[in-house]
Amino acid sequence: FVGNSTYLDDHGPPPLKVLPFPSQVVYNRVGKCGSRTVVLLLRILSEKHGFNLVTSDIHNKTRLTKNEQMELIKNISTAEQPYLFTRHVHFLNFSRFGGDQPVYINIIRDPVSRFLSNYFFRRFGDWRGEQNHMIRTPNMRQEERYLDINVCILENYPECSNPRLFYIIPYFCGQHPRCREPGEWALERAKLNVNENFLLVGILEELEDVLLLLERFLPHYFKDVLSIYKNPEHRKLGNLTVTVKKTVPSPEAIQILYQRMRYEYEFYYYVKEQFHLLKRKFGLKSHNRKPSPRPEFFIPSPLETEEPINDEEEDDEKWLEDIYKR
């Protein structure tokens, strides 16, 4: 046989790749909110389901200049789809720079618990290796490394006071300079972004329910995630990311932290209430531990979800479609 036959001659054009919807997901993970556990799961899931997991080696630059935002958005937007991009970075508005806005997901936790985990992790690392904290904070002086947490709080060291304690809200508020200033403006903007740009913001204290909802909303990325999470081998790996040498501050010190983090707590309870409403819509029953005492400056109580409800007014799939169109 002599000829110049091509694939197109014999078979016609190759079939177009059918992408799942949404095909662009961003997990701008908040530090010390279980993100290393979730990234471990994502590495397994990306192999299993064939999506493009795009991670970043930059862990300590969450605030970007305008040019840095444009460059990062360009790099993300040109990644092979379907992709899930993950990095510690404050919310990026893709549409501001002419890009298609991806679906955002995230997880947060009780603000004081997050702060304490970060405080001791910076000093002593986790179970993955006794010396990994020395790699992360090699220039930390010994007196700082072994600084008593109560002294840090009660004597108002910079690490234990604002603006350092205003940490979670900027991940949802965005890159505007005012997003780093503790106050109502940043809080309200963060709430607005949660409502308009995030498919799901979960609570670490109820991680299994977060994973269940992610599997429901984003099956191409998270199908079978809960069974993988409960696998003993994965649990063994997850335990290595637990921070070591944590101690609990005095009640007086904790109350001071509550006062300094009042905006963080207002945001946390807002997200928690939204998450519980979502669980109710999909018939999930809460099995979380007994909640920690609520800070005194909060008066309204969040809606606690104890029993599943039947919601016949709105179809679940229609609700998901509306979320994706935002």
Q: What percent of the chain has pLDDT over 70?
A: 76
Answer yes or no: are the C-beta atoms of 217 and 279 closer than 8 Å: no
CATH architecture of 24-283: 3-Layer(aba) Sandwich (3.40)
Q: How high is the pLDDT of residue 26?
A: 98
Q: How high is the pLDDT of residue 299?
A: 35
Statement: residue 321 has pLDDT above 80: no
Statement: residue 308 has pLDDT above 50: no
Mean pLDDT on 2-15: 58
Q: How high is the pLDDT of residue 237?
A: 60
Tokens encoding 258: 């509550």
Q: How high is the pLDDT of residue 14?
A: 61
Mean pLDDT on 171-188: 97
Mean pLDDT of the chain: 84
Q: Which residue has the tokens 């994973």?
A: 211
Residue 28: name the closest of 68, 55, 52, 47 by CA: 55
Mean pLDDT on 175-193: 97
pLDDT band at 209 (very low <50, low <70, confident <90, very high): very high
256 vs 129, more confident: 256
Measured CA to CA, the distance from residue 217 to residue 280 in angstroms comes to 15
Mean pLDDT on 179-201: 97
Q: In what order do the strands lie in the sheet with 83-86?
A: 52-55, 83-86, 24-27, 103-108, 198-203
322 vs 225, more confident: 225
Q: How high is the pLDDT of residue 310?
A: 38
Residue-wise pLDDT for 282-307, tens only, equals 998 765 555 555 555 443 333 333 33
Answer yes or no: are the C-beta atoms of 101 and 72 closer than 8 Å: no
* Peptide linkage before 82 cis (omega within 30 of 0): yes
Q: What percent of the chain has pLDDT over 90?
A: 65
Residue 88: name the closest of 143, 161, 29, 153 by CA: 29
Supply φ then ψ for residue 203, to 5 degrees.
Answer: -115, 125
Dihedral sign from CA coordinates of 177, 198, 266, 246: negative
Statement: residue 311 has pLDDT above 50: no
The H or E element spanning position 129 is none
Q: How high is the pLDDT of residue 313?
A: 40
Residues paired with residue 108 on neighbouring β-strands, in sequence order:
203
Residue-wise pLDDT for 47-65, tens only, equals 999 999 999 988 889 999 9
Residue-wise pLDDT for 59-106, tens only, equals 889 999 999 999 999 999 999 999 999 999 999 999 999 999 999 999
Q: How high is the pLDDT of residue 139?
A: 82
Burial of residue 176 (number of CB atoms within 10 Å: 0-12, 13-18, 19+) = middle
Mean pLDDT on 305-326: 45
Residue 147: name the closest of 117, 123, 182, 118 by CA: 123
Answer yes or no: are the C-beta atoms of 202 and 210 closer than 8 Å: yes
Catalytic residue numbers read: 88
Supply φ then ψ for residue 156, to 5 degrees.
Answer: 60, 45
The structural domains of the chain, with segments of one domain joined by +, span: 24-283
Statement: residue 245 has pLDDT above 80: no
Considering only CA atoms, give the Rg of the chain: 22
Statement: residue 205 has pLDDT above 70: yes
Mean pLDDT on 24-42: 95
* Peptide linkage before 300 cis (omega within 30 of 0): no
Mean pLDDT on 13-29: 85
